[in-house]
Structure 1
Amino acid sequence: MSSTATDWLATQFNTASWTVNQVCIPILFFVGIIGWTLNTITFSRPSLRSNSCATYFHASSWANLCVLFWSPFIYAVGNWSGYRLPARSILFCKIRIYFITMFCHTSVAFLLLACGDRFMLCSRNANRRRLCHVRIAYKMIIITIIICALLPLYIPLKYNRLSVVSNLCIIDIDFLIFDITYKSTIWAIIPPSLMLTLGSLTIYSLKQNARQIANIRIQIHSKDRQLVAMLIGQITLYITTTWPYVAMMIYNVLTQNILPSHKSVTRNAIETFALSFSANFFLYLYNAISFLIYTLTAPSFRRELFLALVPRFIRQQFHNRIGATTTLQQAENRTGKVSYIRSRAQVMIE
């Protein structure tokens, strides 16, 4: 490849890295804030507050907010202002990495709890189904936060080196293999394995409950089925966004002894882009767009969001307008009996 083509390719990757850092990451943060706001509003609805799985989703939204603050927000502020506090204070750098790791663990753990909750709900064992309660969910959330706060305590103790490239704190060389193994296991191996196992068992149980076996059939409400769909969407998103970062992390370990001066300009540009995209943007896509997954996979979530955002008088006008053009409408009178009204002109609610 000629030097001109090489320089052009390196320039393109450098431009892509700049776009990721200066444009994509701030957009990711603002999208995450909007999604967190709408998630919080929706999961605070009375119909979802009483559901244990929705409680785990709600808690996961708060953990995602903390991740977005400690990573994309601080990173974007440093790029825009030119004052990168993590590069100037090793103490702040340690605290930042600790909280990013802690809240990433917490968010994933809540998703695992939601998987377990749906699996137990489909069980034929009544004692297991009783565990799918909001009070149990609150206790499990507190226990999970404590465990996730303890797991990455090695970070403030062992992140003492400064990177030659970024001037950020990095793991001590004698703990590098441990750090890579820990993150690969906790992020990329254990959670996806448990998610896929529990998700598969939940889907199998739903299919089994759809059949009449020995005159015993567990009734699963439509909203609970839609929560399973939301869960499957979150699992798919998590696995998709995690593995590129893990692959890049392993690559950095394998090539750590090769100095940047011994690499070509194009290779350095490609590695910089891959690291920026996988570690600073794509990894946190899971934390930012959960709202879109919920909206696309669950009609009940869209309905609750509609009820939460649209004022009641507007909903009533909308309902009347739809009812006026519907050939078959259902109305409930004061006695609770259901009557069917065939009319194109008006809706009559007794």
Structure 2
Amino acid sequence: MSSINVTINQINTTTTVLVTVLSFFSFVFGAIGLTLNILVFRRPFLRREPCAVYFFWSTCYSLLVVFVIMPVRILSDGYNIDISTYNIVICKTEVFLFHVIRTISCWLIVLASIDRYFNSSTKAQIRRMSSLKVARIATASISILIIILYSPIIIYYDITYSTNGSGNIVPKCNSREDINRSFDVFWFLILYSLLPSLLMVLFSFLTIMNLRRHRQIVPRDLGNNLVVRRTDTQFLRMLIAQVFVIIVSTLPFCIVQIYGWYTANLAKNVLRLAVDNLIYRVTGTIPYFAHISSFYMYTLTRTIFREELFKIIKRCCHPN
């Protein structure tokens, strides 16, 4: 066996090990953290907060990422068992659900950042937009909109054949034509990473400006106002932490997606295919952290979240 073949085998083995370990780590910590998120956000105190509604439903969609997307990806990337290549219906359904679930989860965080902007406004008309009724309507509306925007996937995705990291021709669930593949890449970049990230940063900045303006208007010696500002500030802290994780987690994979689209028609040797496969599959697992890390970010950044969590733990340990 030549040294190049040995190198390729080592790269492919490293790819499988890294993807399996990262995916398993994400699955375990995601399942634990997101389940605790659900319990905390259903506490009576938080159920009255419109922002908590967005966090709750974002957690629900992230749970689908953990229990639906991750097991399928672990089988595909870690053990080469890709169920999307068995049947055209499975291919279309799997890709459609994978895109929709992850995107809705991120856009609900965008809505949470917009809600914080409404809630922190000095104008009463804008503050009224931060309500439970608006939160429920907005959650349902963004879910339906994302489903509609990704519906073309059902049409142009099919089972095609491509070269894997070992240089073998294998079936793959992918876009049928290059133009559709290019549209799919950029639509994914805009809808899943770039646009949500920009909107999160924008409304987080506007919220900070509103809070500074609010401090200049509202007297500091009113106890009730101090409690309100404390709650708003902690929600904003949770939001900024979540925004940071989403941006850091999704951008590397987006960059790799652009690279893959740009070099799709280039002739590549087996070694380069193995390296590209390593980069693509490892960066493909990083976006999972945008969905599994929310509980740990909330616990670190918000006192009220920790207080409600401790109440749940105490109730479990001492039910009487």
Post-superposition offset of 1:313: 7.8
Residues 189-198 or 72-81, more deviating: 72-81
- Name the counterpart of 1:127: 125
- Name the counterpart of 2:72: 74
Return the match for 1:195 from 195, 200, 224: 200
Q: Report the residue type matching 2:269 in the other structure.
A: K
Contact 1:67 1:99 in 2 (8 A): no
Residue 310 of structure 1 aligns to a residue in which SS?
helix
- Name the counterpart of 1:93: 91
Post-superposition offset of 1:7: 6.3
- Between the aligned residues of both structures, percent identity stands at 26
Per-residue CA distance 1:255-296 (angstroms, 9 max, x = gap): 11134xx4252x2232111111112x1011111121111111
CA distance in 2, matches of 1:176, 1:269: 21
Return the match for 1:24 from 22, 25, 32: 22
CA distance in 2, matches of 1:204, 1:226: 15
- Name the counterpart of 1:333: none
Return the match for 2:155 from 148, 157, 164: 157
The reply on whether 1:204 has 2:220 as its aligned counterpart is no
- Name the counterpart of 2:167: none
Per-residue CA distance 1:154-173 (angstroms, 9 max, x = gap): 11100124142352210122
CA distance in 1, matches of 2:28, 2:85: 24
Q: Report the residue type matching 1:258 in the other structure.
A: L
Post-superposition offset of 1:26: 2.3
What TM-score comes out, normalization by structure 1 length?
A: 0.81
Return the match for 1:303 from 298, 304, 307: 307
Return the match for 1:275 from 258, 280, 298: 280
- Superposed, 1:173-322 pairs within 5 Å as 173=177, 174-212=179-217, 219=225, 220-259=228-267, 262-265=268-271, 267-279=272-284, 281-311=285-315, 314=318
The structure in which a higher percent of residues are helix is 2
CA distance in 1, matches of 2:133, 2:283: 38
Return the match for 2:48 from 43, 47, 50: 50
Post-superposition offset of 1:311: 2.2
CA distance in 2, matches of 1:214, 1:300: 23
Residues paired across the two proteins, number = 308
User: Residues 135 and 14 from structure 1, CA distance in 2 versus in 1: closer, same or farther, beyond 3 angstroms?
Assistant: same
Residue 306 of structure 1 aligns to a residue in which SS?
helix
Post-superposition offset of 1:67: 2.2
Post-superposition offset of 1:214: 10
CA distance in 2, matches of 1:168, 1:40: 36
Structure 2: gaps spanning 5 or more residues: 165-169
CA distance in 1, matches of 2:239, 2:122: 21
The reply on whether 1:15 has 2:13 as its aligned counterpart is yes
Contact 1:70 1:99 in 2 (8 A): no
- Which one has the largest radius of gyration? 1
Residues 9-18 or 250-259, more deviating: 9-18
Residues 11-20 or 136-145, more deviating: 11-20
What TM-score comes out, normalization by structure 2 length?
A: 0.88
